[in-house]
Structure 1
Amino acid sequence: MSYSAVLKREIFNKEITSKEEKYAELFGIFSAKKSFKKKGIHFSTENVSLAKRVYSNLRDVTKMDIQIKYQVDKKLGTHKIYEVISLVTKNSEKEYKHLLNKMLSLKNFFEKKTEEQLAGIIRGFFLSCGYVKSPEKGYALDFFVDTEDSATYLYYLFKNMKKRVFQTDKKNKSLVYLRNSEDILDIIFLIGGVTSFFEFEEVIVNKEIRNRINRNINWEIANETKKLSASEKQIKMINFIEEKLGLENLTDVLKETAYLRLENGDLSLQELADLMEISKSGIKNRFRRLETVYKSLVEESQSEN
């Protein structure tokens, strides 16, 4: 089961007692799927748990007649489509108007929302059209919204919450998405995915530890490679001096340095300096002098040719 499905299952098992939060969740669900109609509410989904939740919440907040049914859709395979329908009649016009007013009062994204309302609205959008990628594969929270107006509403809702949110079009849908792990964690916790929150956080921590270890290993490898590269260059230079001049013809200091390097090709400059009981700048100075001898011998060799 995907991480997203696990999170939704956890949310479906979460009981909401506040009517205000139920209004907010229904508003998010219906806004995402353009379910508000002139003749009433018509919501459809392939998720039976979501259909049952919508039906149950509507029963708790309105006295309108509500129906739940399903039909089989054979396009691109066989699918069951669950529908929650509440049609307006003469007797229910007033009740429907009250229901719309309660939900649509949340539509102003600049108006300050309570945490309860925010949780309900975002949870509704997520249950209806949201997807969270498994944190092992990356950090992504996506909402594929039916209308651009509703997507823009959700975008500014996140903006007002100081989240790093983006909006674009994809697959004939308006996509609102977050890619920052901290923002995604905040949203998962807000909408009631407490267990999923801790699982997501644990993955992040483990990934950071692995990345830190890998960075340290890469740093050590790079340093070792750099050290060996410098050593190889110095040994090549010393061998050329031996061939053209002879190390015995060097000053005692440079001769000692040359032989020590030939005997300890795997040591760093600092380790060589420690063996000779001099400073690192001192050993660098000796190799500069050896390099001067090397370059003069190279020039002589080239002029002879």
Structure 2
Amino acid sequence: MSFSSDIKTELCKVEFKRECCLRAECYGAWLFSRCFTLKEAAFVTENGAVARRLLELAAAGAGISGELTFGVSRRRKPAYRVSLPDGGSRLALLEEFGHTGQETSLRLNRANLENSCCAAAFLRGAFLTCGTATDPRKEYHLEFAVPYKNLANDLYTLLCEVEAFPLSPSVAGRKGGYVVYLKGSGPIEDLLTYLGAPAAAMELMQVKMYKEVKNDINRKTNFETANMDKTYSASARQVAAIAAISDTRGLQSLPEELQELAQLRLDHPDMTLRELGARLGLTRSGVNHRLQRILQLGERILEERGIDSLL
């Protein structure tokens, strides 16, 4: 299953401790289901737990019965269709939450959020019918798809009012509707926990930790590789300079303190300056100073031959 489906399955297992929260979740789920209208419509989902929850909410929270049918979605996957075929049931649902179906603009009726605990239940219901979350291995993104501008703004305001933690939601238009969305792992983890999906929040945290460890390892590996490349590049220039001296004047032409170092570098091009110094009883800076003298001599020889550089 997808990450969104896992979240919704977990949310469907949340038990109601208060009657007010039951009604709030019922209101949130049906308000955003696109069936909150006098016209006959249907809510379609591939998640059977969500379909059953929606019917249970209608019965327990509004005292009405819905209809559940089963079919195949456009993606050729099992699909559940929840509807209120009876016009009287549709009107009863609207009136239960203070709506008439004749409003010029569908808005959130705050009277249905009786207590502070009801906001989480309402948002949980909204996520069940219009929410999605991207697989955290790809991106940290959670959104609510809302068909009406004013309703999207009301949802945005409610998310901003969550006192436990700052969610910092955003609103954007998309394909004839609107999305209220969250970015970043922290706000999404907080919201999932708030809605009642701590397991999904923990999964997101584990993915984030894995990414951070992986990125840290990659940074260290890249740093070490860059250092190795730098070391090997310097060593190659040194070997080229020594070879130029050997081919033209011979290593015996070098001052005595440079001859042994030149031969050692030729024999061990992969040695670091510190390792070369340990062989010769020199400090790292001492080895570097002598190699710079060899480089200068090699470059002078190449310049006399009309060659631009060692490498």
Instruction: Please give the secondary structure, in 2, of the residue aligned with 1:167.
Output: strand
- Counterpart of 2:249, as a letter, is L
User: 259-268 vs 280-289, which deviates more?
Assistant: 280-289
Match of 1:224 in 2: 228
Match of 2:137 in 1: 136
Equivalent of 2:67 in 53, 56, 69: 69
Q: 1:106 to 1:134 in 2, by over 3 A?
A: farther
Q: 1:79 to 1:55 in 2, by over 3 A?
A: closer
Q: 1:46 to 1:284 in 2, by over 3 A?
A: same
Match of 1:99 in 2: 97
Instruction: Please give the secondary structure, in 2, of the residue aligned with 1:302.
Output: coil
CA deviation after TM superposition for structure 1 residue 35, in Å: 4.7
Q: 1:5 to 1:230 in 2, by over 3 A?
A: same
Distance, in Å, in 1 between the alignment partners of 2:186 and 2:88 is 43
Summarize the alignment of residues 1-305 of structure 1 with structure 2, pairs less than 5 Å apart: 1-37=1-37, 44-47=42-45, 49-62=49-62, 66-70=64-68, 81-84=81-84, 99-100=97-98, 104-105=109-110, 114=116, 116-161=117-162, 162-302=166-306
Identity %: 26
CA deviation after TM superposition for structure 1 residue 88, in Å: 6.6
Q: 1:117 to 1:165 in 2, by over 3 A?
A: same
Count, aligned residues = 290
Contact 2:58 2:66 in 1 (8 A): no
- Counterpart of 2:54, as a letter, is V
Distance, in Å, in 2 between the alignment partners of 1:256 and 1:159 is 73
CA deviation after TM superposition for structure 1 residue 6, in Å: 1.8
Q: 1:25 to 1:59 in 2, by over 3 A?
A: same
Deviation per residue, 1:231-255 (Å, 9 max, x gap): 1111111111212222211112222
- Counterpart of 2:110, as a letter, is S
Contact 1:67 1:85 in 2 (8 A): no
- Counterpart of 2:109, as a letter, is L
CA deviation after TM superposition for structure 1 residue 198, in Å: 2.4
CA deviation after TM superposition for structure 1 residue 128, in Å: 0.8
- Counterpart of 2:221, as a letter, is I
Instruction: Please give the secondary structure, in 2, of the residue aligned with 1:163.
Output: coil
Distance, in Å, in 2 between the alignment partners of 1:251 and 1:53 is 89
- Counterpart of 1:25, as a letter, is E
Instruction: Please give the secondary structure, in 2, of the residue aligned with 1:144.
Output: strand
TM-score w.r.t. the length of structure 1 is 0.79
- Counterpart of 1:146, as a letter, is P
Structure 1 gaps, min length 5: none
Distance, in Å, in 2 between the alignment partners of 1:85 and 1:18 is 29
Match of 2:105 in 1: none
Q: 1:75 to 1:11 in 2, by over 3 A?
A: closer
TM-score w.r.t. the length of structure 2 is 0.78
Distance, in Å, in 1 between the alignment partners of 2:288 and 2:161 is 58
User: 208-217 vs 52-61, which deviates more?
Assistant: 52-61
User: 229-238 vs 45-54, which deviates more?
Assistant: 45-54
CA deviation after TM superposition for structure 1 residue 200, in Å: 2.7
Q: 1:141 to 1:74 in 2, by over 3 A?
A: closer
Q: 1:87 to 1:51 in 2, by over 3 A?
A: farther
Structure 2 gaps, min length 5: 100-107
Distance, in Å, in 2 between the alignment partners of 1:68 and 1:219 is 62
Contact 2:36 2:94 in 1 (8 A): no
CA deviation after TM superposition for structure 1 residue 12, in Å: 1.0
CA deviation after TM superposition for structure 1 residue 36, in Å: 4.3
Distance, in Å, in 2 between the alignment partners of 1:21 and 1:197 is 22
Contact 2:97 2:112 in 1 (8 A): no
CA deviation after TM superposition for structure 1 residue 33, in Å: 3.6
Contact 2:30 2:54 in 1 (8 A): no
